[in-house]
């Protein structure tokens, strides 16, 4: 097994010990990227020479006896809505094609400070609006398990890059499930932290009260390590909590003896047999490991999806008003400013983005604000209170991550409502601001990965990953990446399993 397949912690340990150079690790990652990109289209931008220079600096630090950091030499991928100084950042939209930010996102700074080396910027649904990565202006990403299937969205490029073994860590944003949903469909671990645990400075906004940055990794331990690196207060983001990053690695081996686990019943009739079976099997595994497992109903969870699809477009319509053809990005000339604005936005935004801007603008308009946006915010409060009440009885909650296995490319593009239902199990955690993790747990009836979701109360990341680590040990190795592009035969174990 290649060191790259051993995971982020193993790579960093070997680089810091001088057993392998960061440059050697990065060269292998770039070779894998080159070998798979034609099939997968995970990346918008490849940072080959820049990655080599940064890897060389890591090796220089090791040679001088300095500690490069906990992610020394680890190849990473960044969703292309994270600002990177001097590097094109497009949000997979024509309206930002060619734009190079004059600053780095806080998360990018922290990863570089920890010794990680970015090899590229990954593809996404335009402005993170989608559940399949088919809304990218630059073409869809394909699922490594089956190239005819979607990788999920909106962070599909990041999830697929980890699933294919190109990088052991990648980063995305989660507004309604955009980390957890592709993590489930690609057979990797994905974390959406508590709102405010990770700085949003430098994340190009979709919906500011919902967006949160988080990691993808092959294992819970690597995802926990990544969250420790990127978390913590940031004075440049007023919504970021003024507290240290959560300490997660130390809790991974504690088990679940005596913990109270509630299994959500509210989505049972809305998910496939494979997803339902995976969640039930995960509950049985936790019970066998000593947890106190019981069913729980949070009926308000079913209100999350309609509330989300009012709040998120409303915030998007405000955030995306800045793309007007005047200051940066695409500009389509017109006879006056109003015509130039209209032509620029019509040419620069894709269909789904235009749809959500129109929905959001309508919801915020005079005469409709209280009936739509105001009412959705009241529903959001109800959902939050309902989950808070559930956490008085249970330490964590368990559910399917997605309603189905990865679906075929093009299967839902003509029906936006059906596509929106992909977020059914995930949006509640964004509305409440509470953390959630998706862990690969099974292969479904079509031989594709199925994830289960562990949810926790606000700032409950440590308890969440503690439970996730037990589920990971109980899950079959063949349910998770990395996989050869095009998938592996059913029942074939992962390398090194």
Q: Which of 93, 136, 154, 274 is catalytic?
A: 154
Three-class SS state of 193 = coil
Q: What are phi and psi of 105, to 5 degrees?
A: -65, 150
Catalytic hit among 79, 121, 192, 412: 79
DSSP secondary structure code for residue 204 in this structure:
P
| Residue whose token pair is 């980063």 | 171
From the list 155, 158, 173, 178, the catalytic residue is 178
3-state SS assignment for residue 65: coil
- Tokens in use for 340? 């130039």
Q: State the Cα–Cα distance between residues 77 and 311, nearest whole angstrom.
A: 29
Question: Which residues fall within 8 angstroms of residue 365, CB to CB, at 6 or more apart?
Answer: none
- The answer to whether 132 and 150 have CB atoms below 8 angstroms apart is yes
The residues facing 21 across adjacent strands are none
178 assigned to active site: yes
Location of structure tokens 């509305």: 431
184 a catalytic residue: no
Q: Tokens 């680089």: give the residue.
A: 15
422 is catalytic: no
Please state whether beta strands 169-173 and 75-79 pair in parallel, antiparallel, or not at all (unpaired): parallel
Residue 434 CA: distances (Å) to CA of 190, 282, 391, 460: 14, 21, 11, 8
Bridge partners of 217, per DSSP, are 189
Cβ contact 206:79 at 8 Å: no
Active site (catalytic) residues = 79, 154, 178
């Amino acid at each position: 097994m290649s060191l790259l397949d051993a995971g982020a912690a193993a790579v960093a340990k070997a680089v810091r010990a001088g057993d392998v150079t960061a440059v050697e690790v990065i060269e292998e990652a770039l070779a894998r990227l080159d070998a798979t990109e034609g099939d997968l289209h995970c990346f918008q931008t490849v940072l080959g020479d820049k990655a080599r220079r940064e890897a060389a600096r890591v090796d220089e630090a090791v040679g001088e006896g300095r500690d490069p950091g906990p992610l020394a030499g680890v190849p990473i991928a960044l969703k292309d809505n994270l600002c990177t100084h001097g590097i094109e950042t497009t949000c997979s939209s024509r309206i930002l094609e060619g734009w190079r930010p004059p600053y780095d996102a806080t998360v990018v700074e922290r990863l570089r400070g920890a010794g990680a080396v970015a090899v590229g910027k990954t593809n996404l649904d335009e402005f993170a609006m989608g559940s399949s990565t088919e809304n990218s202006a630059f073409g869809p990403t394909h699922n490594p398990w089956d190239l005819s299937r979607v990788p999920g969205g909106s962070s599909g490029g990041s999830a697929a890059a980890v699933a294919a073994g190109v990088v052991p860590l990648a980063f995305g944003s989660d507004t309604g499930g955009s980390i957890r949903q592709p993590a489930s469909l690609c057979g990797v671990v994905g974390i959406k932290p508590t709102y405010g645990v990770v700085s949003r400075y430098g994340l190009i906004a979709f919906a500011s009260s919902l967006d949160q940055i988080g990691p993808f990794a092959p294992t819970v331990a690597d995802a926990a390590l990544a969250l420790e690196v990127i978390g913590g207060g940031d004075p440049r983001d007023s919504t970021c909590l003024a507290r240290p990053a959560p300490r997660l690695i130390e809790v991974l081996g504690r088990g679940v003896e005596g913990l109270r686990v509630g299994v959500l019943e509210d989505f049972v009739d809305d998910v496939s047999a494979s997803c339902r079976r995976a969640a039930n099997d995960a509950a049985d595994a936790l019970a066998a490991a000593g947890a106190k497992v019981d069913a729980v109903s949070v009926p308000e969870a079913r209100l999350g999806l309609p509330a989300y699809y009012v709040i998120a477009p409303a915030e998007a319509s405000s955030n995306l008003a800045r793309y007007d053809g005047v200051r940066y990005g695409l500009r389509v000339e017109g006879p006056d400013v109003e015509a130039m604005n209209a032509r620029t936005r019509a040419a620069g935004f894709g269909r789904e983005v235009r749809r959500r801007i129109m929905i959001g603008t309508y919801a915020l308009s005079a005469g409709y604000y209280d009936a739509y946006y105001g009412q959705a915010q009241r529903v959001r409060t109800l959902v939050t209170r309902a989950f808070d009440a559930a956490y008085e009885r249970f330490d964590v909650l368990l559910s399917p991550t997605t309603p189905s296995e990865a679906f075929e490319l093009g299967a839902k593009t003509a029906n936006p409502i059906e596509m929106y239902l992909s977020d059914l199990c995930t949006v509640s955690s964004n509305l409440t601001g509470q953390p959630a993790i998706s862990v690969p747990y099974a292969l479904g009836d079509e031989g594709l990965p199925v994830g289960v979701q562990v949810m926790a109360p606000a700032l409950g990341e440590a308890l969440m990953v503690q439970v996730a680590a037990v589920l990971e040990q109980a899950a079959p190795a063949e349910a998770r990446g990395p996989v050869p592009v095009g998938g592996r035969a059913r029942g074939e174990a992962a390398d090194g399993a």
